[in-house]
Copies of this chain bind each other. A is one copy, B any other.
């Protein structure tokens, strides 16, 4: 396995960062997870836009290298992968030992790739079956305290939610569902939630503490193309439990039906299937 680290391809055991790197000490870093189909990054522009937005929010716009795409392509080639999971990390680099950040004149830029199955119409899912969901006890960090529209190396609230899942009786849930501090449904730890009720596709709006997921955005446009009525807003857990269908979106797992939430059966359905078919067709175009 080769990693791309600060401009160089390096083998596994050389893919290290200093213990003084701010990405390590403070989680002071932006990241993106992407997926390739037939060697091409899916929705590259959307991912780079969000990465740039994250870096801007963290006051380190200058840290994103101009040749980022070339670095990704080199990493894929070095690992001989055309179907891959790709993770980009950009940290503020090694600085003084103080919390107050300086300019990111020497950022750490990392590309990690891993093999995935083929996607598209003839593809294989990365997951075994529909997802079991459980609401997290703790609310999502409010947008006012920390902006929800950035992806960073500060992921502990999701880690705590997964620790709760491990302690859940009986079932072993796949994903935790966050609510906002007012109790409305927000998002999963690594996914966005959609549900179908009265023939309308619904998903929590971006005015709440919700990451603007790239797959979320693709699904909203596919629904529009398919003539499926779409609504974004604030929804209660009860409304999700009463839904006809529900699914999660995530770059790697694409569209994954929700088997159950807090033990109540949900499942996919005709709208989920229509969107999955359209998603697969969209992905298939990357192989042509």
Contacts and interface: CB of A to CB of B under 8 A. Distances in A.
A155 B59 CA distance: 15
Contact of A16 (B16, B112, B145, B162): B16
B181 A99 contact: no
A24 B21 contact: yes
A66 interface: no
Contacts of A101: 159, 162-163
Interface string A91-119: 00000010111000000001010100000
A120 B181 CA distance: 45
Interface in A1-25: 3, 5, 15-21, 23-25
B181 A145 contact: yes
Contacts of A99: 155, 158-159, 162, 189-190
B23 A24 contact: yes
Contacts of A24: 17, 21, 23-24, 153
Contact of A26 (B19, B140, B153): B153
A156 interface: yes
A58 B164 CA distance: 10
Nearest to A85: B97
Interface string A160-172: 1011011000000
Interface residues of A, number: 52
Contact of A18 (B16, B59, B97, B140): B16
Among A139, A140, A153, which residue has the most Cβ atoms of chain B within 10 A? A153
Contacts of A159: 26, 28, 58, 99, 101
Contacts of A17: 16-17, 19, 24
Contacts of A39: none
A165 B100 contact: yes
Contacts of A21: 24
Interface string A49-83: 00000000111000000000000000000000000
Contacts of A57: 160
A232 interface: no
A154 B19 contact: no
Which A-B residue pairs are the 3 nearest by beta carbons?
A27-B27, A16-B16, A26-B155
Given A141-B145, A154-B156, 6 more contacts: A3-B19, A16-B18, A26-B158, A26-B159, A58-B156, A146-B156
